[in-house]
Amino acid sequence: MTKVLFIYPSMAWESKEIFSAFAPPMGALYLASVLEHSKLDVDVSVWDLASEPVGRKEFIKKILDLNPEVVCITCLTFNFDMVKEVCEIIKRELPECYIGVGGAHVSILPKESINALKCDSIAVGEGESRIVEVVRDRPKGIIYCEDSDFNSLPFPDRKHIRSIKYGKMFDMNFGVDCTTIFFSRGCPFNCAFCARPKKQMFRMRKVSDIIAELKEIANMGYDSVAVGDDNFTTSTGYTTKIAKAVHKNKLHKDFFFFGQGRVDRDSADMYYWLRRMNVVGMSYGIESVAPKTLEFYNKTHEPTRWKEKIKNTYKLAVDAGIIINSSLIAGAPMDTKETIEESIAFVDKQETEGITLNLLSYMVGTKLWDDAVNNGKIAKDDYWTDAIQTGLTDLTPEDLRDYQKMIYAGLGWRVLGRVPLKWIKAKRGRFLLTMSWKAKQFLNRSTFEALKDRSRLYDGFNRDFSEMKRS
């Protein structure tokens, strides 16, 4: 029997500062399931070190105790240096162990990555099509993978991470036992700040498979499901079909659903069925309400109508009793204090409960990064930086902290004042009663301390980034 270990690394040893246990590593769980459904004789383990971080000494002890023959590691740009150290440790402690690395970063830079990581192989693309071959034959070098037939994949094997309680963000516990499901893969949009591989097609799963997986999740005891799609509402007809099937199979009684959507998908019929599906929270990538900034981000083909679309979609979400989070970005070259404050004020006026303000990142694989490199603003080997460090914005760290403080000063009212009224108006009494006891767990001192710490996010990001640069 071959021991196979999948590792989803954290950003640094024992790091829980920014990234915490919100969602399981679905890529690793899919790969584990493909192996377990193959004819190979394997003993599979999955370590989510981002959710359960360990120290260097503890990691060495764990890896020696398990003594795997094959290790597969997920590599993103922000954890690249951590992946490099993990590879070095494994090669030193277990020199005969085969190491394969996959993920977005190495898919973008396969040659550079395999030289830097000194691993046995790099998988470019979706690894399900080649994982059996990798474990069986242990090929060397760069392995190019075809996009997976999403409907032919076995369900991700959640038993490997069932002991971890997900549903946390920035050390805030939302009082739910959450897992993630994907209804689709890929994204048909082309936002300039996004590093998703653009060559991947947008693929939707069979609704019957989604219902079968949700039933399996219900049997495992989860009470909440986060839809992991880049945009849950990309196809309004498809999303409506899923929502109807969930309701027909009475799965709306088992779960609270959360997801991400776009405000230019404002179908009244879809939101009617999202309400009946028991979708209770949606996060929308607003980014900005300034037309020039939206054009810079390539967010929409109709930037002058963006405010209108926000109003229409948020009205539908409010009427459906859905908690709204508005995600904004600050730091575009044309951003001013006035445009940033206008964006915050506008979404607040539309009855959003949550507002997140993120500093613009320039990351390898994005159009923004490519343009900055071509214009000599960023070095070719500077794979991840931000607008302030590059000098591509007039925004200062002090400005960012002030905006964060402004946003979170009003959080208590937005949550305690708006949510109960929204649920009562939408006749979501069951949800109101069920969540009342959970609210005690969420609305406590530690939560609000965590929210206050969120205003220092830039400091944390900058410190972590500087540490990665030095390593």
Structure confidence at residue 460 as a pLDDT band (50, 70, 90): very low
Structure confidence at residue 441 as a pLDDT band (50, 70, 90): very low
Residues 135 and 181 in one domain: no
Residues 382 and 441 in one domain: yes
Q: Which are the contacts of 267, defined by CB distance < 8 A and separation ≥ 6? A: 233, 236, 240, 316
Structure confidence at residue 90 as a pLDDT band (50, 70, 90): very high
Flag whether 284 is in a domain: yes
Residues 415 and 280 in one domain: yes
Residue 47 structure tokens:
């370590």
Q: Is 142 helix (H, G, I), strand (E, B) or coil?
A: strand
Which pTM does this prediction carry? 0.88
Residue 435 structure tokens:
């969540």
Span 239-262, pLDDT tens digits: 999 999 999 999 998 998 999 999
Residues 40 and 65 in one domain: yes
pLDDT (mean) for 154-177: 79
* Segments forming the whole domain that contains residue 375: 165-466
| Residue 37 reports pLDDT greater than 80 | yes
Residues 318 and 410 in one domain: yes
- Note the pLDDT of residue 373: 96
pLDDT (mean) for 12-28: 74
Residues 169 and 227 in one domain: yes
Domain CATH for 289: 3.80.30.20
Domain boundary among 129, 151, 173: 151
- Rounded CA gap, 225 and 166, in Å? 10
CB 271 within 8 A of CB 316: yes
Residues 108 and 179 in one domain: no
CB 354 within 8 A of CB 324: yes
Which one, of 295, 325, 296, lies nearest residue 313 by Cα? 325
Residues 189 and 332 in one domain: yes
- Note the pLDDT of residue 451: 47
Of 33-37, 196-200, 446-450, the least confident = 446-450
Which one, of 342, 471, 404, 393, lies nearest residue 83 by Cα? 471
- Note the pLDDT of residue 172: 53
Flag whether 9 is in a domain: yes
- Note the pLDDT of residue 161: 93
Residue 245 structure tokens:
């099937």
What is the CB-side half-sphere exposure of residue 185 using CA atoms within 13 A? 18
> 364-379 in b/e burial notation, b at 16+ Cβ within 10 A?
bbbbbbeebbeeebbe
- Note the pLDDT of residue 41: 97
Pairing of strands 70-74, 98-102: parallel
Domain boundary among 151, 176, 199: 151
Structure confidence at residue 9 as a pLDDT band (50, 70, 90): very high
- Rounded CA gap, 364 and 376, in Å? 14
Flag whether 158 is in a domain: no
- Note the pLDDT of residue 239: 97
- Note the pLDDT of residue 102: 97
Which residue, chain included where needed, has tokens 């390898």? 364
Residues 145 and 192 in one domain: no
Q: What is the mean pLDDT of the chain?
A: 87
- Note the pLDDT of residue 252: 92
- Rounded CA gap, 467 and 212, in Å? 44
- Note the pLDDT of residue 467: 39
Q: Which are the contacts of 360, defined by CB distance < 8 A and separation ≥ 6? A: 193, 329, 330, 331, 332, 368, 386, 387, 393
Flag whether 426 is in a domain: yes
Domain CATH for 123: 3.40.50.280
Residues 372 and 230 in one domain: yes
Q: How many domains does the chain have?
A: 2
